[in-house]
Structure 1
Amino acid sequence: MNVVPDTSAVVDGRVSERVEDGTYEAVTVVVPEAVVGELESQANDGLESGWDGLEELKRLAAFHDDGTIDLRYVGERPSGDARSHAAEGDVDALIRDVADTQDATLLSSDVVQAEVARAKGIDVEFVEPVARGVVDELPIAEYFTDETMSLHLKTGTKPRAKRGSLGEMHYVVIEETETSEERMTELANAIVDLARQSADGFIELSDDGMDIVQYRNYRIAVARPPFADGVEITAVRPIAKTTLDDYEFADDLRERFLEQQRGVLISGSPGAGKSTFAQAVAEFLNESDYAVKTMEKPRDLQVGPEITQYGALGGAMENTADSLLLVRPDYTIYDEVRKTRDFEVFADMRMAGVGMVGVVHASRAIDALQRLVGRVELGMIPQIVDTVVYIDAGEVHTVYDVTTEVKVPAGLTAEDLARPVIQVSSFETGRPEFEIYTFNRQVVTVPLGDEDGEQTESGVGRIAKQEIEREIRSVAHGHVDVALRGDDEAVVYVEEGDIGTVIGKGGGRINDIENRLGIEIDVRTHGENPSEGRASSRSTGGPRGDGRTAQVGDDRGSVVQPEITSRHVVLDVDGGVGETVEVRANGEYLFTATVGRGGEVQVSRGSAIAEELEDAIDRTQTITVVPAR
């Protein structure tokens, strides 16, 4: 009698079981090479099934050595493509071919494999699969208390957890005994098996070395080597469920959401309570007769059954967005908006007329809005996002209104400097707090004042001072100082030999600069500077004709290595797309720029900025990039 076991029968140990109980006496066990290849692939992926199957093959080899059975390996070894398409039946087909050509009985615990084999006229013995790793409850649930937000387990370390209330979380050791590799493997396998078997769970993502499991209200990440340096389990569970009434500005926010479909960004740092607020908004909208859907990866918002939660269709949120436009929701909750493509999908759905509520990581309310800069057209931002809600320690800390207006930016006076300006205003007071606009070819975000509403140099004055200094230093050879004299006047102090160069023939050059910036500029020598003798706030960044050296600021920023191409000077900022940054040489300000989509700042060669930057490079000065303040 010839028997061909498939992978499921070998993994479950069904062949050796029948040899031991005498059912298979003096049989020939023909193992397809396809089974060996699949088991080897599973073992290499760290799957317990692969190792169990290899142990069964070793038992069969022992039976062959003592003469109990005859053991042979035949057939073709599956290719990489066949193994990658095992779920589509490629490996099973190879196994059936062996059973057919060997005129053998196929032993299987796979009901689909058995039925296909019978349909093809192959003799089949079907045995019930072994229930592997069956557990009734989540094995790590015992670690969670009412105040536990997340659990952190890793091989060879003490179990830790984040416990406390929102905004008052502490990362604490919860057991003094380090977790062994055997225990971690046992827990990891039990969690994944439970998600597969239980109607309360599912596997959100499964890849080499990483499984993302959603079980009830737990989101669990299981990492294994080689992706991680040890088996690691991170489980997160929401510790609070709120309604919109639990937050400040609840009445005003309700009215705002009900007026019309909105574009809202909910921002805050990790663990601040952004998703908790988002689900409160979702529940309120649903109860207010709006059709609400969510876009999540992974799906972990705790919302009612009326709100359908969508993942990434085909691994891409743009596919999910295309489907949702056919479903026609009134509002969509997008958790989380992080990468450039996420912002583009958010903007596309918003422009299609869908109310959008996005969850964004940001350390300040204005930072959430700045993450759109460079990712969408500047003038489209108020149409995409009209409200920013900043959450801190589980509370609504700040709410901004976002509008656009064609006006002269605050701090400038020349009427011909009018341009589209994005105004970011306090939802509570209605007072503008920031303006975003293009200033001298750069996108700038300008704070309009301090808490008392008074103009500060950190806002418009600082930007204006920087731009004046940059313009003058592009033509002056020596040291430059700038002092503002109100909103539309400034005094520039230069070396005596630079006076003529800065003013230009007939005052033409200084007039051009004044017209571009909308500020009247008085050019004087350093000898006329009343603050001469004190360390100046700006310098040229290196040795000049006057013998001065650069002052290195306290904030040195990230050092970058500029690359000079035929057309550009390129600074690789390494991330921060859309952020506004200052470029400095030896700690001294050169210019302000917005990081482009490639994580780079590009300056066109031949421009005044590029010449200044190349001059600093030639002097081997240290070029640094710091976030604009």
Structure 2
Amino acid sequence: MKIAGENVYIPDYAAVVEGAVSRLVEEGAVSGRIIVHRSIVQLLELFALKGRGVAFAGLKELKRLGELHGRGLVTLEITGEKLRIRGDEAEEALIMEANSAVRELAMSLGGVVLTGDAVIYDLCRSLGLQALYVSRREEKGLLFERYFDEETMSVHLKEGSFVVAKKGKPGDWRYLRLSEERLSREFVERVASEVIEEARRRSDAFIEIDRLGSTIVQLGEYRIIIVRPPLSDGWELTIVRPVKRLKLEEYNLPPELIKRFHERAEGILIAGAPGMGKTTFAQALAEYYMRMGKVVKTVESPRDMILPDEITQYSKHYATLGELHDILLLSRPDYTVFDEMST
């Protein structure tokens, strides 16, 4: 349906926080009138006050849409009633309620729902609503990936500072400056938003922790720590990538030690200074036992070990210690790897 001769599009929560709407406008796939339900704006403001990284990405998307409106590429409108929030609702429940309001608005106006959620898309179609599923964008490389080469272990981005990378291998590395100019806050925020948007799209990515001042993301093989004010004095990203995955046999350990691992290992403590390869060795050990036909599970926070699908990785962040205790006792794995003694 058109209003005043314009196509009408109404984005849901996922489409906004993933930055999909502005991208469609810039690509020419969407034009006319974009109506954002006020409940979506309300949730973005609420979650931003709680320090949720996805909310910052969503607010930036609204800013981009406002700029596109100013350039005459689209008409932006915010309408609808705010949600009645008691304060004890789960965030996912609030998002579901806002998305329901989006569908009701689309039904009343005859507009097209823009969604980045396949389930919501199918639901809209079953209700007789027009919907456009925003599939993930074509891979063009993320902004931070330009700083990585084969020997890069980690990249450090901080507003007001130079780009710094750790290159080498565990136990033998060096810091190198990669930029000629200091980074602006705008650039670091843009990298952070891109990471969060990508984490919501990809099946091999997840947001492990999202709290006031910090967000931890696992994006494929990259572990990304985003820190922002008020926790820090500026926006900062630390992006860590394992340089190489080793098998236990590649460590050239004494045969006596390998035999003990194989026959009667009853508790193994891996210790060393930061950057010495503790997690890399733990990965190799976990895979070694898996190849022996053993059931292996890990307890991590965050889940940053790169392991085969046969090994289940549990997150301490999403469960109480009692719950993890029950799961491990009842599932009875042959070996459990605790990454960091704090877990």
- TM-score band (shorter)? 0.7 to 0.9
Instruction: State the 1:33 CA deviation.
Output: 3.7
For the residues of structure 1 that align with 2:68 and 2:149, how far apart are their CA atoms?
45
What's the secondary structure of 1:267's corresponding residue? coil
Instruction: State the 1:256 CA deviation.
Output: 2.1
For the residues of structure 1 that align with 2:308 and 2:78, how far apart are their CA atoms?
57
Number of aligned positions between the proteins: 324
Instruction: State the 1:298 CA deviation.
Output: 2.0
Residue 126 of structure 1 aligns with an amino acid whose one-letter code is A
- Alignment deviations for residues 299-329 of structure 1 (CA, whole Å, 9 cap, x no partner): 2334444433333373335423422333322
Q: 1:197 aligns with which of 187, 201, 214?
A: 201
How many percent identity over aligned positions?
A: 32
- Is the counterpart of residue 185 in structure 1 residue 194 in structure 2? no
Q: In structure 2, do the counterparts of structure 1 residues 60 and 316 end up closer, same or farther at CA, with 3 Å as the change threshold?
A: same
For the residues of structure 1 that align with 2:36 and 2:141, how far apart are their CA atoms?
37
Which of the two has higher C-alpha Rg? 1
For the residues of structure 1 that align with 2:172 and 2:144, how far apart are their CA atoms?
23
The alignment's TM-score, normalised by the length of structure 2, stands at 0.74
Q: In structure 2, do the counterparts of structure 1 residues 163 and 80 end up closer, same or farther at CA, with 3 Å as the change threshold?
A: farther
Correspondences of 1:154-553 after superposition (within 5 Å): 154-247=158-251, 250-312=254-316, 314-338=318-342, 342=343
For the residues of structure 1 that align with 2:189 and 2:212, how far apart are their CA atoms?
15
CA contact (8 A) 1:299 1:309 kept: yes
CA contact (8 A) 1:149 1:162 kept: yes
For the residues of structure 1 that align with 2:95 and 2:203, how far apart are their CA atoms?
24
Higher helix share: 2
Q: In structure 2, do the counterparts of structure 1 residues 99 and 278 end up closer, same or farther at CA, with 3 Å as the change threshold?
A: closer
For the residues of structure 2 that align with 1:30 and 1:244, how far apart are their CA atoms?
56
Residue 250 of structure 1 aligns with an amino acid whose one-letter code is P
Residue 295 of structure 2 aligns with an amino acid whose one-letter code is A
- Alignment deviations for residues 103-123 of structure 1 (CA, whole Å, 9 cap, x no partner): 432441136556656766xx7
The alignment's TM-score, normalised by the length of structure 1, stands at 0.44
Instruction: State the 1:147 CA deviation.
Output: 3.5
- Is the counterpart of residue 129 in structure 1 residue 144 in structure 2? no
For the residues of structure 1 that align with 2:244 and 2:36, how far apart are their CA atoms?
55
Partner of 2:62: 53
Instruction: State the 1:74 CA deviation.
Output: 4.4
For the residues of structure 2 that align with 1:241 and 1:116, how far apart are their CA atoms?
42
- Is the counterpart of residue 75 in structure 1 residue 81 in structure 2? yes
Q: Which has the higher contact order (CA 8 A, sep 6+)?
A: 2
Over the aligned positions, Cα root-mean-square deviation in angstroms equals 4.2
- Alignment deviations for residues 214-244 of structure 1 (CA, whole Å, 9 cap, x no partner): 2333212122333433221111122344444
Partner of 1:38: 43
For the residues of structure 2 that align with 1:211 and 1:155, how far apart are their CA atoms?
17
Residue 162 of structure 2 aligns with an amino acid whose one-letter code is K
CA contact (8 A) 2:153 2:165 kept: yes
CA contact (8 A) 1:211 1:222 kept: yes
In structure 1, stretches of 5+ residues that fail to align are: 64-68, 343-629
For the residues of structure 1 that align with 2:293 and 2:78, how far apart are their CA atoms?
67
What's the secondary structure of 1:269's corresponding residue? coil
